């Protein structure tokens, strides 16, 4: 039985519908509004060239991905009042452990109705010992909202194989992290780069952030050891448990995602 980590879980039974924009009793010919059909909330104003990807199509694509992958526990999540919708499938095919700890992995499909993102494939994970979350959008699999996107969406059904490659690569990186020791000097350098604290005088706010992060380091390295794996999990511990951020499973967006991605890139440089 799957544990539910999805705070804003939804059945995604609502959809979007285009609506004319009327100014001074005249229809605006170049733009239209995209609204929710359940509450008539405006999600975004788009140019006529913008082609919506409807929730019904999104659910159908998720069903296809579930059949192809064989993954289970299909879950949907809304973000920003439905401006972004996410679908998750739990990888029930592979037991993933690093340093003896279980990691649950998910295939993520996302779509935006506000034009902020295309239709995208990603990965999300949670380390069960501490509930730390880390997610990545596979940038090579982002599809724009155009009238010619249907062929690319068919390709996306096959691109779930990218998920396996990303997962294998990530586990390989984690295993390398686990073998590299850290010391106070490296931790200081890493922290300053992560939070851009290289100036001589650090603001009180940034100093408090770094104190919070140091507390996360103390917690994670005590469990995982004085290695890069412990240091990286200190970051995901901070972004999951200390940082007030957008409530998406896996920290796929916002400040938490930016910090996690930056930390991951820094670690890649170190290994």
What mean pLDDT is predicted for residues 167-179? Answer: 89
Token duo for residue 226: 């004085």
Does residue 234 share a domain with residue 143? no
More confident residue, 147 or 193: 193
Does pLDDT of 156 surpass 50?
A: yes
Give the confidence band of 150 by pLDDT, cuts at 50, 70, 90. Answer: low
Q: What is the pLDDT of residues 27-46, one digit of tens each?
A: 999 999 999 999 999 999 99
Extract the runs of DSSP E, i.e. beta strands, from 170-260.
none
Q: Are residues 127 and 35 in the same domain?
A: yes
Are both 136 and 88 inside the same structural domain? yes
Asked whether residue 3 carries a pLDDT value surpassing 50, the answer given is no
pLDDT given for residue 246 in this prediction: 62
The reported pLDDT for the residue numbered 15 is 98
Instruction: Please answer whether residues 64 and 89 qualify as being in contact, where contact means their C-beta atoms are separated by less than 8 angstroms.
Output: no
Residue 265 domain-assigned (yes or no)? yes
Q: Per-residue confidence at 250, pLDDT binned at 50, 70, 90? A: confident
User: Is 166 contained in some domain?
Assistant: no
User: Residues 57-72: what's their mean pLDDT?
Assistant: 90
DSSP strands (E only) in the chain? 9-10, 16-23, 26-36, 42-47, 72-79, 84-90, 97-98, 101-112, 119-127, 132-143
Assess whether pLDDT exceeds 70 at residue 56. yes
Angstrom distances, CA of residue 113 to CA of 77, 127, 201: 14, 31, 42
Q: State yes or no: pLDDT of 7 exceeds 60.
A: no
Q: What is the CA radius of gyration of the chain?
A: 21
Q: Using one digit for the tens of pLDDT, what is the confidence trace for 158-169?
A: 766 777 878 888
- Residues 192 and 86 grouped into a single domain: no
126 has pLDDT over 50:
yes
* Mean pLDDT within 8-24: 92
Q: Which of 132, 159, 186 is the last residue of a domain?
A: 159
Inside any domain, residue 1? no
pLDDT given at position 85: 94
User: 49-63, 180-194, 201-215, 243-257 — which is least confidently predicted?
Assistant: 243-257
Residue 180 shares a structural domain with residue 151: no
Helix (H, G, I), strand (E, B) or coil at 192: helix
- Mean pLDDT of the region 69-81: 89
Its domain, for residue 126, covers: 9-159
> Are 51 and 130 contained in the same domain?
yes
Q: Read off the pTM.
A: 0.83
- Give the CA count within 13 Å in the CB-facing half-sphere of 159: 21
pLDDT of residue 1 exceeding 80:
no
Question: 3-state class of 57 per DSSP?
Answer: helix
Residue 139 confidence (pLDDT) above 80: no
User: What is the number of domains present in the chain?
Assistant: 2
pLDDT at 265 over 90: yes
Same domain, 14 and 122: yes
């Amino acid at each position: 039985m799957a544990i539910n980590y999805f705070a804003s879980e939804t059945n995604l039974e609502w959809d979007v519908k285009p609506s004319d924009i009327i100014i001074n009793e005249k229809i605006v010919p170049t733009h239209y509004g995209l609204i929710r059909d359940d509450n008539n909330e405006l999600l975004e104003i788009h140019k006529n060239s913008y082609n919506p990807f409807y929730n019904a199509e999104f659910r159908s694509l998720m069903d296809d991905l579930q059949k192809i992958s064989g993954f289970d526990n299909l879950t949907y999540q809304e973000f920003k009042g439905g401006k972004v919708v996410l679908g998750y499938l739990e990888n029930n095919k592979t037991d993933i452990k690093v340093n003896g700890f279980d990691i649950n992995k998910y295939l993520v499909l996302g779509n935006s109705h506000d034009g902020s993102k295309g239709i995208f494939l990603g990965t999300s994970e949670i380390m069960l010992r501490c509930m730390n979350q880390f997610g990545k959008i596979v940038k090579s699999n982002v599809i724009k909202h155009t009238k010619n996107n249907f062929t690319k969406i068919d390709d996306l059904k096959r691109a779930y194989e990218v998920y396996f490659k990303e997962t294998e690569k990530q586990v390989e990186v984690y295993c390398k992290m686990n073998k590299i020791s850290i010391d106070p000097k490296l931790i200081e350098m890493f922290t300053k780069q992560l939070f851009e604290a290289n100036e001589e005088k650090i603001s009180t706010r940034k100093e408090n952030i770094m104190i919070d992060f140091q507390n996360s380091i103390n917690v994670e390295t005590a469990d995982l050891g004085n290695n890069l794996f412990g240091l990286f999990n200190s970051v995901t511990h901070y972004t999951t448990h200390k940082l007030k951020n957008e409530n998406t499973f896996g920290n796929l967006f916002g400040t938490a995602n930016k910090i996690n991605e930056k930390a991951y890139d820094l670690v890649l440089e170190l290994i």
